[in-house]
Amino acid sequence: MENIKLRGLATISFYADNHEEAKKWYSEILGMEPYFNVPGYSEFRLGDYQHELGIIDGKYTPKNSTEKVGGAIAYWHVDELQDTLKLLISKGAKLFEPITDRSGGKMAFVTASVIDPFGNVLGIMTNKHYLEILEKKTAE
């Protein structure tokens, strides 16, 4: 195989030292209970394509993880960026990066991110291309 075809997110994993509290926090902000639960692991299906967000007990954090934030942020599309950011902060998340236009003033790709109460970076964005792809998929 000469190259890899990334087909879409399967699961984003967040680690939390207090798994039960993290599960409760995400259930509250998402307005749903996880669809899958085993001791130390819970999983939510989210969004138009039912991507998975896994909440994992911190004791399972990969051994080579560091305490500082890594270089990747997964951004979830939201329809109301400012309202979503306010909600997350009101529920105990800390601002990581403020609302930022990534499209040179066109407001086509606008992001923000928070650190959840368990130390994970949660990215949110409004994304013109996401909406275009969704529109094409629903028209099929």
CATH 3.90.470.20 fits 73-140, yes or no: no
- Predicted pLDDT of residue 22: 97
- 75 close to 125: Cβ distance less than 8 angstroms: yes
CA distances for 86 relative to 68, 107, 124, angstroms: 24, 19, 12
In the predicted model, is pLDDT for residue 54 greater than 90? yes
Fold of 1-59: 3.30.720
Please state which of the ranges 11-15, 72-76, 115-119 shows the lowest mean pLDDT.
72-76
Q: What angle do CA 74, 70, 72 make, to 5 degrees?
A: 25
Mean pLDDT computed over 36-64: 92
In the predicted model, is pLDDT for residue 82 greater than 90? yes
Question: Taking the domains of the chain in order of start, what are their residue ranges?
Answer: 1-59, 73-140
In the predicted model, is pLDDT for residue 1 greater than 70? no
pTM (two decimals): 0.87
Choice between 27 and 129, residue whose per-residue pLDDT is larger: 27
Q: How many residues does the chain have?
A: 140
In the predicted model, is pLDDT for residue 6 greater than 90? no
